[in-house]
């Protein structure tokens, strides 16, 4: 009796999943896509419903998969849980020529942990044709736009330029934004600020006397509120500063408010890349490479060995599994106490996409 064959995309992932499934299962890697459009020629039949003409790109891998499938009783396609992974699963069935009588299952998991992998194997489904079609449509559009528009750019603009389904739209957005910047009319305005210090000191720190200094901004003059452009030039600003020369200041009133700040929602693909770029200076490519490694598994030592440390990172969803929430609540309770534990786990909703009206920023002298 043969093993149950599980096909994933990468060797690192295969190693981790093999450990979770144990005997009776054999986990192998497809090394990503096994078929694609040939590099030469359009390879799209535009006269017959834009049918793509694929070729096997990894002959050795496909031969090894065929042999492994032949020896297995059942096949589990465990490629990534997105449209690209769904298409890879479908391409494997087409390239490897799996016999019709052999059971083929599609399994997906959002995290590479023992419970998630075992639950996915226990609850397989069929390949989602809609996701496969979505991926094929993307690939066909890439080819049509790139192969049809690039030569036009070479002829009309400059040799060596390229066009793309995403690239060309992004270039247009950049061009339109540059037009906005060129058309921008700067408006001068000034603000009046003063640094104030309490008369009494606030003790010493590291042998140095500490003082309380805070910044105040002029928002009203002569009983009238000052809007953003009220002080239009340096002469007006200097006149106000001269009036305030040798002035005394006092605190008229203090308002205290309690503010509640909710934790940020879990990362999506875009927010992960933005935060990694802003705080760590990572490129999007580096961020996704590191995230892929964390998803596929890292050897954390001890008895656990290689463990997937994050959920699947290519997503727009902010939902969190109940298992992960309960584990987080247990850790918070044990380490920090119940006073830091919310009454119930937070639920995050997807952001509604509302068109934003463009506003032009105003210039301020440095």
DSSP secondary structure code for residue 128 in this structure? -
Q: Residue 163 pLDDT > 50, yes or no?
A: yes
Using the CB atoms, write b or e for 101-130: b if 16+ within 10 Å: eeebbbbbbbbbbeebbeebbeebeebbee
**Using CB atoms within 10 A of its CB, is residue 237 exposed (0-12), middle (13-18) or buried (19+)?**
middle
SS3 40: coil
d(CA 53, CA 45) in angstroms, rounded, equals 8
Cα dihedral 274→276→277→278 (10° resolution): 80
Query: Residue 225: helix, strand or coil by DSSP?
Result: strand
**Where is 299: in which H helix or E strand?**
strand 298-299
Grade residue 355 by pLDDT with cuts at 50, 70 and 90. very low
- Does 65 score more than 90 pLDDT? yes
Specify the pLDDT at position 257. 92
The average pLDDT across 151-167 equals 88
Domain ranges for the chain: 4-134, 193-261, 269-340
Distance CA 227, CA 191 (A): 10
What average pLDDT does this structure show over 300-322? 81
The structure tokens listed for 280 are 């760590």
CA distance 353 to 91: 34
61 Cβ neighbours under 8 A, 6+ residues apart: 30, 31, 34
Q: What digits encode the pLDDT tens for the residues 39-54?
A: 888 999 999 999 999 9
Q: Does residue 187 surpass a pLDDT of 50? A: yes
Does residue 201 register a pLDDT over 70?
A: no
Count CA atoms closer than 13 A to 19's CA, side-chain side: 17
Provide the annotated active-site residues.
Answer: 312
What pLDDT score does 66 carry? 95
Task: Answer yes or no: CATH 3.90.950.20 is held by domain 4-134.
Answer: no
Mean pLDDT calculated for residue range 146-150 = 87
DSSP label of 157:
T
Q: Which of the listed CATH numbers 3.40.1410.10, 3.90.1150.10, 3.30.70.2190, 1.10.290.10 matches domain 269-340?
A: 1.10.290.10
Euclidean distance between CA atoms 360 and 6, whole angstroms: 55
This prediction's pTM = 0.72
pLDDT at 362: 34
Rounded mean pLDDT of the chain? 87
Is pLDDT at 94 greater than 90 in this prediction?
yes
Predicted confidence (pLDDT) at residue 200 exceeds the cutoff of 80: no
């Amino acid at each position: 009796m043969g093993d149950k064959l599980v096909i994933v995309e990468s060797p690192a992932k295969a190693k981790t999943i093999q450990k979770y499934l144990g005997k009776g299962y054999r986990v192998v890697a497809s090394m990503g896509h096994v078929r694609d459009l040939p590099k030469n020629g359009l390879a799209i039949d535009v006269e017959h419903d834009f049918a793509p003409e694929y070729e096997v790109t990894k002959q050795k891998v496909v031969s090894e998969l065929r042999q492994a499938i032949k020896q297995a009783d059942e096949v589990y396609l465990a490629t990534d849980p997105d449209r690209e992974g769904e298409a890879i699963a479908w391409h494997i069935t087409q390239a490897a020529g799996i016999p019709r009588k052999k059971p083929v299952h599609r399994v997906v998991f959002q995290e590479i942990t023992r419970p998630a992998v075992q639950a996915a194997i226990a609850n397989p489904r069929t390949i989602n044709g809609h996701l496969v079609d979505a991926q094929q449509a993307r690939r066909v559009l890439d080819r049509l736009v790139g192969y049809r528009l690039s030569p036009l750019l070479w002829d009309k603009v400059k040799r060596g330029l390229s066009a793309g389904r995403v690239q060309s739209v992004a270039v247009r957005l950049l061009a339109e934004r540059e037009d906005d910047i060129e058309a921008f009319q700067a408006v001068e305005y000034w603000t009046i600020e003063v640094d104030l210090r309490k008369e009494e000191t606030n003790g010493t720190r590291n042998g140095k006397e500490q003082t309380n200094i805070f910044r105040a901004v002029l928002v009203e003059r002569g009983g009238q509120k000052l809007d953003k452009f009220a002080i239009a030039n340096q002469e007006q600003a200097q006149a106000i500063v001269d009036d305030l020369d040798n002035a005394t200041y006092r605190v008229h009133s203090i308002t205290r408010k309690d503010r509640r700040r909710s934790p940020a929602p879990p990362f999506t693909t875009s927010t992960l890349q933005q935060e990694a770029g802003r705080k760590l200076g990572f490129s999007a490519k580096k961020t996704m490479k590191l995230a892929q490694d964390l998803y596929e598994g890292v050897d954390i030592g001890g008895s656990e060995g290689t463990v997937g440390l994050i959920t699947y990172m290519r997503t727009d969803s902010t939902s969190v599994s109940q298992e992960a929430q309960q584990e987080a609540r247990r850790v918070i309770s044990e380490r920090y106490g119940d006073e830091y534990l919310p009454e119930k786990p937070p639920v995050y909703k997807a952001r509604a996409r509302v068109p934003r009206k463009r506003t032009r920023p105003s210039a301020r002298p440095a």
